[in-house]
Structure 1
Amino acid sequence: MSLDPLVSLLAAIGMLLIGTLVNRKVSWLSRYNIPDPITGGLIFAVLSSLLLATADFRITFDQPIKPLFLLMFFSGVGLCADLRLLKRGGKALIIFLIVLLPFIVLQNIVGVSIAMLQDLHPIFGLVAGSITLVGGHGTGAAYAGRFAEVNNLQMVMDLTMTVATIGLIVGGIIGGPIAQFLINRYKLRSNAEASNEDHRFVEAPAPLGTVSTLGALAGIFTAVILGQWLADFFAGGTITIPGFLWCMLIGIAIRNLLPFAGVEFDDRAADLISNVSLSLFLVMTMMTLDLVEVALSAGPFLLIILAQVVLIFLYVVFVCFRFMGRDYEAAVTSAAFIGFNMGSTATAMANMQAITSRHGPAPTSNLIAPLAGAFFVDIMNAFVLTGMLALPFIGG
């Protein structure tokens, strides 16, 4: 049975709502920050696989709008990137980013090396590297579409979604224990006291209006149009910057140039549109997974993920923790570092919350982690991947 574009979109929205409901009811799904579209899409993929196996009944979708949702997501990320927030992070944020950059490179080197040892295409090493583990499902899907088209790699989208989901779970499982290991080993404790200011009355922000939402939508579409044009204009060069990265960079430019023209921008509208776009893209992608093929093909990736776990443990203990100050804040930041590099910003925040709820507040960590996750991690990851894909033995 084939569904037309409008029915396909309605089915995706329905499964997204079902995924949201299931995540609220099943505690361990919430604990490990499994995204709602992943849960909903996987439920559909399981049911469709069972129908195909038992009744030879296949459901196919017509989803011409799906690529647009992905570009809208990255454009929205750019529109939420207020560079003036750099001042708030200060020295700790700069150190965190300096520590983060070489790890992204190392993560890809490990992935590519083990992939080549298993006689896999090197690009699969990047898929089990920072494409999915740092970039998450959104970045993974963006690159997977390119790899399927340009490099003719089979099952790359399905495997990308699988690795990204495993990364979320692993990042949520190991972040807390590794931070706890550092706290116990060095006998660390929080020196921060909860401020009375945290309990003061804060006026609720004004609700989103039609004008602010339309303004964000106009900014997102502008970034999509200009980003696609720039991607086509610079296509065929020595280093090819993917279209979604151009969209994000245009979004950043729009967001940070508007204040000079006296235009105030409501980040909430862009963030809402961006999140909805990513959720719809992901649930559409997950609904078309061939789970049987994924199960048969995912074996070699488990070895790469195991190596990534060993790498991040060693890097956190001997590099991140030491450079961030070897104190309680550094241990909490290390938990966030694991969340960023094995799962997502949400995983990073959940890891920190688990530690601080037990051992006390870590105000510096709670400041720099959202700032880093807002856009710095994605930008750094994109440029590292662009450079690695330009290497002849990987992307050539």
Structure 2
Amino acid sequence: MEWEFNGYYTLIAATLVLLLGKWLVSKVRFLRDFNIPEPVAGGLIAAIILFALHQMYGVSFKFEKPLQDAFMLIFFTSIGLSADFSRLRAGGFPLVLFVVVVSVFILIQNAVGVGLAGALGLDPLLGLITGSITLTGGHGTAGAWGPIFEKEYGVVGATGLGMAAATFGLVFGGLIGGPVARRLINRQGRKPVAQTNADNEVSDSNTNDVFENAGRTRLITADSAIETLAMFAASIAFGQIMDVVDAEYFPSWLNLPKFVWCLFGGVILRNILTLVFKMNMFDRAIDVFGNASLSLFLAMALLNLKLWELTGLAGPVTIILAVQTIVMMLYATFVTYVVMGRDYDAAVLSAGHCGFGLGATPTAVANMQSITNTFGSSHKAFLIVPMVGAFFIDFVNAMILSGFVNFLK
């Protein structure tokens, strides 16, 4: 028996999950100490409850997926609308260096997946499905490559396995990022920042910390909200159009997920409006919509997490994913952190890398927010991670995956 929830009830359920997560983090010291994001804390409890109901009564739950996808597109569009070229230039060498660090990890991630798949007697292509296709790439890349593996290479069940592996990564990317960064920060002797009422307010001039201080009050008006929604609509429409063009005219290995085109549309629109028309952007409104969409997307993703499907993962695949999680933690600790400077910003970047190295960019941002809410701001990390995790790395991942597939076949 399946209980289906329409968009209204899905939204209600997601908000209840977020409130539950907020309450849990405020009451459970373990969650605070390890900086587990509120949507992950509440979402896992909800997923466990739904799993128990399924096991006891055979009931499954279906929450409206298009609403989850819509909030994902809004979040990535908000990254694009926040990407002023002047800010990208401000990223400078550290941004390029982080792209290199993440690119090297994609090579390692695929090498580990392919190597373990071969050692365990599986098709080496399954190693890519449990590598950067689903972990760095996430559900969107898994959905794009799965049918290709099934039709062209005869890998049975590639799409279903990809979705399960991507879900595994989404959960564990949110679970390991906080503890990894917390351990690195404790080595530095940095103490939590005392929160005051002033910390929760923001002046109209302080608009360059998009996503960084999700708990701050944002001073927006109805007019700025409506104008910002119009920019979101234009960017998402661009993404829809380019997604069709992409599928029709681009080679299959270079197909980009729709959210990348929405992000790119936001980048184009923002910089045309600011550079050509000298328009003052409503960064505060973009920040509010982006952070709200991020939380709702994660809550809905975990509501749609069917734990009974994950329990069906074959033993060898579970082993590969467990090893990939350990490799991610080690790489973030001994490579990302070290190469990026061994400072507080590097620790926050490591939390972000765990988020999208196993899960997705929204998980990376949530990881970093959980750290900076406790230990203070990291402008460098919030400048670099969203653009690298949501945009640059998709191009790199597509090229690396194409090379691996051609080599294996």
Common fold, TM-score beyond 0.5? yes
Residue type matched to 2:245 in 1?
A: F
State which of 324, 327, 330 in structure 2 corresponds to 1:304.
324
State which of 153, 165, 174 in structure 2 corresponds to 1:168.
174
Are residue 110 (structure 1) and residue 112 (structure 2) matched? yes
Call closer, same or farther: CA 1:40–1:337 in 2, change over 3 Å.
Answer: closer
Are residue 277 (structure 1) and residue 293 (structure 2) matched? yes
Gaps of 5+ in 1: 184-188, 191-198, 325-329, 358-362
Q: Quick check: 211-220 or 84-93, which moved more? A: 84-93
Residue type matched to 1:310 in 2?
A: L
Task: Tell me how far 1:27 sits from its aligned partner.
Answer: 2.9
Task: Tell me how far 1:281 sits from its aligned partner.
Answer: 2.8
SS of 1:263's equivalent?
A: coil
Contact 1:114 1:304 in 2 (8 A): no
- CA distance in 2 between partners of 1:246 and 1:203 (Å): 31
State which of 32, 36, 39 in structure 1 corresponds to 2:38.
36
Call closer, same or farther: CA 1:282–1:124 in 2, change over 3 Å.
Answer: farther
* 1:341 alignment partner in structure 2: 353
TM-score, structure 2 length as denominator?
A: 0.74
Contact 1:107 1:311 in 2 (8 A): no
Task: Tell me how far 1:241 sits from its aligned partner.
Answer: 1.8
Gaps of 5+ in 2: 150-157, 191-197, 205-217, 356-363
Call closer, same or farther: CA 1:303–1:9 in 2, change over 3 Å.
Answer: same
SS of 1:81's equivalent?
A: coil
* 2:284 alignment partner in structure 1: 268
- CA distance in 2 between partners of 1:120 and 1:282 (Å): 32
Contact 2:116 2:127 in 1 (8 A): no
Q: Report the aligned-residue RMSD.
A: 3.6
> Identity rate of aligned residues, in percent?
25
* 2:335 alignment partner in structure 1: 315
Within-5 A mapping of 1:2-21: 2-21=4-23
Are residue 66 (structure 1) and residue 82 (structure 2) matched? no
Contact 1:171 1:338 in 2 (8 A): yes
Residue type matched to 1:47 in 2?
A: I
* 1:289 alignment partner in structure 2: 305
* 1:230 alignment partner in structure 2: 242
TM-score, structure 1 length as denominator?
A: 0.76
Contact 1:179 1:334 in 2 (8 A): no
Task: Tell me how far 1:37 sits from its aligned partner.
Answer: 2.9
* 2:54 alignment partner in structure 1: 52
Are residue 221 (structure 1) and residue 233 (structure 2) matched? yes
- CA distance in 2 between partners of 1:8 and 1:367 (Å): 34
SS of 2:405's equivalent?
A: coil
Contact 1:70 1:142 in 2 (8 A): no
SS of 1:234's equivalent?
A: helix
Residue type matched to 2:24 in 1?
A: V
Are residue 143 (structure 1) and residue 141 (structure 2) matched? yes
